[in-house]
Structure 1
Amino acid sequence: MFCRVVGKTMGFVGYTIQYGCIVHCAFEYIGEFVVCSGPSMEPTIVTHDIVFSERMSRHLCKIQKGDIIIAKSPFDPNMNICKRVIGLEGDKICTSSPSDLFKTHTYVPKGHVWLEGDNLRNSTDSRSYGPVPYGLIRGRICLKLWPPHNFGSLSESPTRRIIETQSDSERD
C-alpha cells in the first residue's frame, strides 16, 4: 500500500516537473501575456490592457524602429517597462523635454536602443535614462488581446516620431 502511494506521488511529481519545464520554456522563448499599467503608452496601450509579447524577435535580433517592446527597467530590474523603439544603434536622435530650450542630438551606441513612450508628456523613457542595452529587451508586443473591441495588432505611433531615413532603407 505504502509503495503504491509513493509510486503514484512520484509519478505525479515527475509529470508536474515535465509540464512545468515545458511551460517555462514556452514563456521564456516563445512569448507571454502581459497586463499593462501606467500612462506612458497612451493612447496606444492603456492601463489594464492585455497584450501578447513574443520573444523570438529579441533572440533573432529583429527588433525594428516602431516596435513596442517590453524591457527590464534600467532603474529597477524587478520592474518591466513598455515603450516604443525610436532609434537603433548608430541612429541620431533629436531629443528635447518641455524644459529644454534647445534640442539636443544623441547617437545611439552599439548594442543599445532608444525608447520613448507614446505619451511624451507622461513617460519616463530614454529621454531620462538614455539608451537602453539590447540585453534588457524581453519581447516585442505583437497583439492586443484585451479589451475585446481593441483586439488586433497595434497601431503606428500617434506622435509620428519615427522617421525612416535613407540610411535605414540601405540597412535592409
Structure 2
Amino acid sequence: MRRWGLLAKEALSQTLTFARFFCLFHVTNHYLWSPTLVFGPSMLPTLNLTGDVILAEYVSHRVGRVGPGDIVFVRSPVDPNKIVTKRIVGVEGDRVTYFKPRNGDTCHTVVVPKGHVWIQGDNLYASRDSRQFGPVPYGLIEGKAFFRYFHPLLYLLVTEVQLKPDMGLGRRSFSHGLNWLE
C-alpha cells in the first residue's frame, strides 16, 4: 500500500509541474508574446510574400506604446475573423494624405479621429487598408511586430524587423534600438 501512495504522490507532482508549465505557456502565448506566421503581398518588401515568422508582442498597444511606423497585427474591420498585418501611418489627430493607386493619383487628406489609427500596407498596389475602409479603432490592434525570425536551412538568426522606413512623413524617428546579430 505504501508503494501506491508514493506512486500517487509522484503522479500528482508530475501533473502539477505540467499544469504550471501549461499555465505559463498559455499566459505567455496569449498576453505577452508569441510567434506568428505572416505572408501575403501587402507588406512587400519589408515582409516576404511566401511568409515570415514574426515575434508578436501584446503589451505595447495596451499601454499606448504604438505609433507611426510600427508594424501591427489588426483585427480586420471588414472581416472580424481575420487578422491583418499593416503599418501604422497616423494616430489620432494626425493629418494623413494618401492616394488610391487604382483610382488615379488623386490625393486625399483625412484627420485621424480620436481613438483611431490609420494603417497601410507597404505595398500600396496590393494592400487593402485604411485607404479603403477608413481609420481603424485602436481597440482592433491585437499586437505589434517585435522581431522577424530568419532561418535559411540550418542557421537560425534573429533580425530586427525594419520598422521605420522613410515614409516621407517628416516626423521623428521611432527606433527601438533592438539590434540582435547584426
Gaps of 5+ in 2: 173-182
The 5-angstrom pairing of residues 90-169 of structure 1 reads 90-98=93-101, 99-100=103-104, 102-148=106-152, 151-155=158-162, 156-157=164-165, 160-164=167-171
Provide the TM-score with structure 2 as the length reference: 0.78
Tell me which residue corresponds to 1:71: 74
Q: CA RMSD in A?
A: 2.5
Larger radius of gyration: 2
Shift of 1:103: 1.3
**Runs of 4 or more consecutive aligned structure 1 residues displaced over 3 Å after TM superposition:** 1-17, 147-151
Relative contact order, higher structure (CA 8 A, sep 6+): 1
Question: 2:5 & 2:140 partners in 1: Cα distance?
Answer: 48
The one-letter code of the counterpart of 1:74 is: P
Tell me which residue corresponds to 2:33: 31
Question: 2:91 & 2:170 partners in 1: Cα distance?
Answer: 12
Question: 1:10 & 1:100 partners in 2: Cα distance?
Answer: 68
Provide the TM-score with structure 1 as the length reference: 0.82
Tell me which residue corresponds to 2:84: 81
Total equivalences in the alignment: 164
Q: Is the 8 A contact 1:51 1:146 kept in 2?
A: no
Question: 2:115 & 2:159 partners in 1: Cα distance?
Answer: 30
Q: Is the 8 A contact 1:86 1:161 kept in 2?
A: no
Identical aligned pairs, as a percentage? Answer: 33
Q: Which moved more, 1:126-135 or 1:17-26?
A: 17-26
Tell me which residue corresponds to 1:51: 54
